[in-house]
A and B are shown apart, each in its own frame.
Chain A
């Protein structure tokens, strides 16, 4: 909402615009911008035409000498609507006329020097008239800045009006606020009309189908209209407020809307078919060509103004072309109405027409302004458009509603704000804002709520009015009281933090990706089962909620590769979303907290001199998983190869604890990489932290360290490729009980002497006892027993 401070000054008093802006902001009408019009007209002055001579080499141009008081200026000019002695507007060198968007420079026009430009109203941005120069009043003193001559010395405030304050979408509404803030009286403009018979209701009638959708509907007829441009001051005000000047009739309706907040509509009376206007819902299949030239198919929920022939206007939103006021119009009917905010809002959204009118109706227009605004517009039609106003009005009156009366007590103020505000102070503020004092006692006062303040319904609303007018600065800050309930550190929080720390320790950077992806991204991983679609996505790329984080991370890697990264590691901690299998009422969606990561390329991010070609592989991904499992102190997991469309069947594994699948890792499936235009050789992991949580341990139990020396022995065995290191390790641990406390692989060797499909696995075994030093003999005995068993079991596997 753009507010002209010079316009505002007609209704109330306040100091300068800067003070006004800061007080309004601190009272809840945030001023987003302060725009001084005078700046735009710098170096533009009034000038008297002294001489006009033909241009030596151009028929359509003239050399004009003007006086600006203390000096003469020679300019070249193409206009012809002026004579010697006229006063015109001169844009001097260095000025920037607002309608031209260029800086005036001294120029040579076909061999004649021009030291500025004489301006048309359009070039000055004061109206659309581009036919000739702007001619000023003959009494104007040459050299006077144009801002003074035209009263352009205005400051425009841009207010960010919150949706609850429909009452502040007008100059009078803002004036009510300003008067309260600055203790000023308020002055209303005149709505007195010289009206003459016949009465309006003999000229036109009105009907409404449903008073719940149209709370009030009023009409006035005006005849003898001459449609022409509105006066310059009105055009200037409209344009300062961001509206285009069109004609006196249309401008008056817009002007009164900006003044009172009441949207108005003017029909050409002679184009209305039948004897009455009707406010009704659209009928199936009806269409309307609106003023923007678009033919719209209406739906039954659309509220219309119609005549006997059909729709004329989408009520409160936009008029139609059929009864539009044109240059030929002589008789008009002005409509002032109060439509149901919901009806207007729905139609405005449905047709994509967020008009100035709709914006005001949606936020609530007061039924008590309807007639006043109608008369004000009629008075201006008489004054500025030669109109003869007909006696009386057509008025479909509002449905009687209970007046809202709210009681405000000082104890409630204290309870909510933490400060004392006296009854008298509350009353002063609220009465000045238009509330009525309905009587008070020792504890508090009852206030009647003005119609315009549809947002005020309860005592807390009144307290806010008092608090904001006094300013929140008047409320002292009080420290938060101590707390007496500590929450245990638990839940997802520590698990996610520990996982994040472990991943960073493995050199992964954190990514934050959108929760929605393209369907193709999930399809590439065959992860569309149970996926939840966004009904109204911004684009297809963001149309389905992730069931796995991997597609986003693969995209992150692909992007890095496109940007010539040579090694990259990303992780993300976020939720995935799944339609639940057993759709419980009220809980149709399951959200799982997941950790996922992807890595590609050089292990050290850049080539490292120690090993310039070392590339991340499966075991780097596995190291990351192990780091996370260690960080959350998970029990030992099983690495179980399992069918998973996301991963390469050869190099991937499920991660299982007990019977719970807690995650998977492996090389991204080549088909998925191709589908996603990602490079080969991306390794990835995804852990379900909600599944892992029951196994995680934030506080480990301490275990005493070994007091007796341990004995180390190595064991090497040649086995078939298909035998896993873990299988053999389990044999060693089982057979070695209780003396073998640890066994770990330290070498894997393949070579021609072992034969095709064979490998040598070497294990380091630790023998120890908690209560004595082991003898060489018992270690030797145990070791040979283990070797025999390993050979026997591995051999049995060999035979298969």
Chain B
């Protein structure tokens, strides 16, 4: 019996050593340990053996079982390591093929500029109001000290819309707001000073060429409080321009005219392309006009029942497209509204 066991041990060990696949190892495991495997067969034969011998034989059989199990484990290990080695040595995948991920869409440059500017003003404590785009003539003009026959109306050629009845002449005229400034009036009517708000949004003027679009975007700003001064207006907009256009940006305030501010100022920044040395963009002046501003006209305060002797304030307004064009180097305003799929995708 011992001999038989030894022979079996040798045969099993050598068969396992010769196995070249995991499947072959598994076949050998079944062959020896399976229900009808050779070791089971021998165990079955043990029932006919005298109890005195049975113990020794049992021990020998256990030793054999351990020996074969060990041979199976090492055969498996040998084959698994070999498989890993050959996997590691096999050809690379093509790492240059594009990934599977979803492309991230882009924000329109005007929106991005609007958001960035709004964020700067938010950090200076300006709340956001939205106003309405279809406005009464009163809010768009009269309340802002722009009388109906004043030449300054020519500065803003106006779109009119039909009123609620759909019949012209039935109600007070409604216009597409020509500026975000009516937002000043609506804000002040809604609360008492102090007021510190911006009003971003779409505005409309009847004009279309390389530098004018019938629809464009503005940000209006308003700060009303006790003793707000022109000096504070300069500080605020100077800080904004540095935040928006970068450190080293200089601002220049030029007297100008807006019916709803007095005094009024146009604000120029040092040219972002040539740093003020003079180039095509700034027409060799070194300056680029960027926004309009001024101290709120007392007549505007009267329209919202603020007492001009108690409060002063400043207001400003800027065209977002113009700033976007400077930031992104866009030279034709109209491309901003064509929505060419190749245009928007690049931002």
Which candidate, B7-15, B30-38, B157-165, is the interface stretch facing chain A?
Answer: B157-165
Smallest CB gap from A463: residue in B: B263
Which candidate, B66-74, B77-85, B228-236, is the interface stretch facing chain A?
Answer: B228-236
Smallest CB gap from B118: residue in A: A493
Please indicate which of the listed interface residues A25, A486, A559 has the most CB atoms of chain B within 10 Å of its own CB: A25
Within 8 A of A (CB), among B229-264: 229-232, 234-236, 238-239, 252-257, 262-264
A560, B231: Cβ atoms under 8 Å? no
Interface size band for A: 35 or more
A472: B residues at CB distance < 8 A: 230, 234, 253-255, 265
A589, B134: Cβ atoms under 8 Å? yes
B225: A residues at CB distance < 8 A: 481
Smallest CB gap from A461: residue in B: B262
| A345-B134 contact, Cβ under 8 Å, with A28-B254, A560-B341, A580-B164 | no
Smallest CB gap from A603: residue in B: B102
B339, A478: Cβ atoms under 8 Å? no
A346, B149: Cβ atoms under 8 Å? yes
Within 8 A of B (CB), among A479-534: 479-487, 491-493, 497, 500, 503-516, 532-534
Cα–Cα distance between A458 and B296 once the two chains are bound (Å): 13
- Choose one: A475, A534, A589; the contact of B231 (CB below 8 Å): A475
| A478-B232 contact, Cβ under 8 Å, with A507-B103, A535-B168 | yes
B202, A574: Cβ atoms under 8 Å? yes
Cα–Cα distance between A588 and B161 once the two chains are bound (Å): 11
Nearest-Cβ distance from residue A366 to partner chain B, whole angstroms: 16
Contact string, B298-310, partner A, CB cutoff 8 A, digits 1/0?
A: 1000000000000
Question: Is B100 part of the contact surface with A, judged by Cβ < 8 Å?
Answer: yes
| A486-B341 contact, Cβ under 8 Å, with A460-B262, A506-B102 | no
Cα–Cα distance between A511 and B343 once the two chains are bound (Å): 10
A28, B257: Cβ atoms under 8 Å? yes
> Taking chain B's interface residues, is the majority helix, strand, or loop, or is none over half, making it mixed?
mixed
A537, B159: Cβ atoms under 8 Å? yes
Contact string, B130-170, partner A, CB cutoff 8 A, digits 1/0?
A: 10111010000000000001111011000111111110100
A504, B263: Cβ atoms under 8 Å? no
- Choose one: B98, B162, B227; the contact of A532 (CB below 8 Å): B162
| A559-B234 contact, Cβ under 8 Å, with A341-B149, A604-B103 | no
B155, A163: Cβ atoms under 8 Å? yes
A588: B residues at CB distance < 8 A: 163-164, 171, 174
B344, A510: Cβ atoms under 8 Å? yes
A482: B residues at CB distance < 8 A: 125
Question: Is B43 part of the contact surface with A, judged by Cβ < 8 Å?
Answer: no
B134, A591: Cβ atoms under 8 Å? yes
B102, A164: Cβ atoms under 8 Å? no
B162: A residues at CB distance < 8 A: 532-533, 535
Cα–Cα distance between A571 and B145 once the two chains are bound (Å): 38
A28, B256: Cβ atoms under 8 Å? yes
Cα–Cα distance between A575 and B104 once the two chains are bound (Å): 24
Please indicate which of the listed interface residues A30, A464, A509 has the most CB atoms of chain B within 10 Å of its own CB: A509
A505, B105: Cβ atoms under 8 Å? yes
Nearest-Cβ distance from residue B164 to partner chain A, whole angstroms: 3
A164, B152: Cβ atoms under 8 Å? yes
Please indicate which of the listed interface residues B115, B133, B149, B339 has the most CB atoms of chain A within 10 Å of its own CB: B339
A532, B254: Cβ atoms under 8 Å? no
A345, B151: Cβ atoms under 8 Å? yes
Contact string, B154-193, partner A, CB cutoff 8 A, digits 1/0?
A: 1100011111111010010010100000000000000000
Cα–Cα distance between A476 and B253 once the two chains are bound (Å): 11
Smallest CB gap from B97: residue in A: A609
Number of interface residues of B (CB under 8 A): 84
Question: Is A702 part of the contact surface with B, judged by Cβ < 8 Å?
Answer: no
Question: Is B76 part of the contact surface with A, judged by Cβ < 8 Å?
Answer: no
A479, B337: Cβ atoms under 8 Å? no
B340: A residues at CB distance < 8 A: 559-560, 563
Please indicate which of the listed interface residues B151, B257, B340 has the most CB atoms of chain A within 10 Å of its own CB: B151
Which candidate, B47-55, B106-114, B270-278, is the interface stretch facing chain A?
Answer: B106-114
Question: Is B92 part of the contact surface with A, judged by Cβ < 8 Å?
Answer: no
B130, A492: Cβ atoms under 8 Å? yes
Question: Is A200 part of the contact surface with B, judged by Cβ < 8 Å?
Answer: no
Nearest-Cβ distance from residue B257 to partner chain A, whole angstroms: 3
A538, B110: Cβ atoms under 8 Å? no
A559, B160: Cβ atoms under 8 Å? no
Question: Is B336 part of the contact surface with A, judged by Cβ < 8 Å?
Answer: yes
A162: B residues at CB distance < 8 A: 256-257
Query: Using a CB–CB distance below 8 Å, which chain A residues touch chain B?
Result: 25-28, 30, 162-165, 341-342, 345-346, 362-363, 415-419, 455, 458, 460-461, 463-464, 467-468, 472-473, 475-487, 491-493, 497, 500, 503-516, 532-538, 542, 545, 556, 559-560, 563, 565, 568-571, 573-575, 577, 579-580, 583, 586, 588-589, 591, 604-605, 608-610
The 9 A-B pairs of least Cβ separation, nearest first, read A28-B255, A483-B125, A418-B229, A588-B164, A418-B231, A464-B263, A162-B257, A468-B255, A487-B127
19 contacts between A and B (CB under 8 A): A25-B254, A163-B154, A163-B155, A416-B230, A416-B295, A418-B232, A460-B263, A467-B263, A472-B230, A479-B235, A480-B232, A504-B105, A505-B102, A509-B105, A510-B108, A536-B160, A568-B341, A577-B133, A605-B103
Query: Using a CB–CB distance below 8 Å, which chain B residues touch chain A?
Result: 97-98, 100, 102-108, 110-111, 115, 124-125, 127-128, 130, 132-134, 136, 149-152, 154-155, 159-166, 168, 171, 174, 176, 194, 196, 202, 204, 206, 208, 214-215, 223, 225, 227, 229-232, 234-236, 238-239, 252-257, 262-266, 295, 297-298, 312, 336-342, 344-345
A342-B149, A481-B232, A492-B130 known, 17 other contacts, Cβ within 8 Å: A28-B254, A345-B151, A475-B234, A477-B238, A485-B194, A507-B102, A507-B103, A532-B161, A534-B160, A534-B161, A536-B206, A538-B208, A575-B202, A579-B166, A583-B165, A608-B98, A608-B100
